[in-house]
Amino acid sequence: MRKPTLVLTLAVLFVGTLCAQIPDTPAGRQFSAWLAAFNSGDRDTMQQFFDKSMPFGRIEQDMTIRNQTGGFDVKKVEESGDGRVVVLVQERGPGKQFTRITMNVGAAAPYQVAGLRFQPAQPPPDMAPPKMTEVEAEAARKGVPFRQFSAWLDAFNSGDRTRIGQFLEANYPSMKVDAQMNFRERTGGFEFRALEQATATTLTGLMQERDSDQFARFNVAVEPDEPHRIARFGINGIPRPAEFPVARLSEAEVIAALRAKVEKDAAADRFAGTVLLAKGGKVLFSGAYGGADREKKVANKLDTRFRIGSMNKMFTAVSILQLVQGGKIKLTDPLGKYITDYPNPDVASKVTIHQLLTHTGGTGDIFGPEYNAHRLELRTLNDYVALYGKRAPAFEPGNRWEYSKLWHGAAWRCGGKSQRAELLRLCGGAYL
């Protein structure tokens, strides 16, 4: 059941507390409305915001984040404009972690949310919690939260499904063993690095992935009564803390470390591909690992070609911007200026090159029934445009963000034959 009165009340309360911090711009107003709905923890309130202002929102995803964090308090506005706002917030929950939230909105009314991004952030120096003393850390290590965390870490690092399952069943029954095994495979396990905060039922600290330089902050909350099962356990990637600097290596040490890493991962079947390290035009290291075709036992070579999926978009974007820099293309021009035969006139006349590159043109995805019916016929970029190019924009171009796989083919075709030849040169043949 919808609760419009609740939405209004929350909005009034929120504006009363945060209007001095959040700017009165289209982006600022949308951020305030989103945060009011998010902090309410009410599913209907959040869904109403999505329906009105953020159609791409996923209610389950936001509810999960809300339950994990307890909501957010605004600490600092780092960037502000009509179409974009960047805000540093802090969790209301026991973890008290900082997060940087970036919101982009459409260029015209009703200024719907075009994108919402969460990034773990380090607290500013003046907001960082005091470091634990040795006495406090020693006391925390004797507490129930640390005991549960240590038992989980031992089981998780073992990689043994039975052992992990037994721990979860006894101590963290809401967590699925399949999810933990998948997480273990991706991280290789963790090494405990430091404690940050502790209470009788909560613990916050730092870990580092065994298979990378990635750091993570963990937050554990246990039930106050025996057997003190884990009530909440969050793990979030964070920038590398300053107190754990990366050791500087000589060139020879870098090459040796790289060789050891790829050989280890290839032997464990965690990597198959090619590696090249160069400096100043000189190749320092190169190698090919794993199989290009396992069934036929064809090994990878340095000149093996790989399907790299949507990573092509990065090459296209850089190449387009190089053409812009050279005065051959303008980001503000509609794509119809360069693709004069584009089938849908609304897309051709309204969608700009900038909107193609930023997924705000509404050109849509390619996967679905049409793709399944014609996938064997789709051999060139022109084939994709011919199949999907008749579609109208899914929304008013520029009004919101929605991931689009079609923009790649459209952006590639922008301009005439000479521009495409230049793109091909800039991309190093990536589209052949």
pLDDT digit string, tens, across residues 191-224: 999 999 898 999 999 999 998 889 998 989 899 9
Here the CATH number for the domain that contains residue 395 is 3.40.710.10
CATH number for the domain spanning 195: value is 3.10.450.50
244 located within any domain: no
- Nearest alpha carbon to residue 186 among 240, 255, 235, 122: 235
Count of structural domains, the chain = 4
Domain identity same for 199 and 211: yes
Q: Of 121, 146, 173, which residue sits at a domain end?
A: 121
Domain finish residue from 87, 121, 155: 121
What's the Cα-to-Cα distance from 60 to each of 2, 25, 34, 65, rounded to whole Å?
Answer: 17, 28, 15, 9
Report yes or no on 263 lying in a domain. yes
pTM of the model: 0.61
Whether 14 shows a pLDDT value over 90: the answer reads no
Listing DSSP states for 46-90 in one string gives HHHHHHHH-TT--HHHHHHHHHHH--EEEEEEEEE-SSEEEEEEE
User: Is 129 part of any domain?
Assistant: no
325 occurs within a structural domain? yes
Q: What is the full DSSP assignment across 111-128?
A: --EEEEEEEEEPPPTTTS
Same domain, 279 and 364: no
Domain that holds residue 256: 251-306
Each residue's pLDDT tens digit, 77-123: 999 999 999 999 998 886 677 889 999 998 888 898 988 888 878 78
Among candidate residues 121, 77, 81, the one with its CA nearest the CA of residue 99: 121
Measured CA to CA, the distance from residue 142 to residue 411 in angstroms comes to 59
Q: Would 243 be classed as within a structural domain?
A: no
Same domain for 317 and 420, yes or no, is yes
Residue 410 lies inside a defined structural domain of this protein: yes
Q: What is the pLDDT of residue 360?
A: 85
In a domain, 274, yes or no: yes
Element (H, E) at 158: helix 144-158
CATH of the domain at 34: 3.10.450.280
Kindly state whether residues 169 and 269 are assigned to the same domain.
no
- Is residue 421 domain-shared with residue 329, that is, in the same domain? yes
**Which one of 214, 238, 262 terminates a domain?**
238
**Does 46 lie in the same domain as 72?**
yes
Both 69 and 141 in a single domain? no
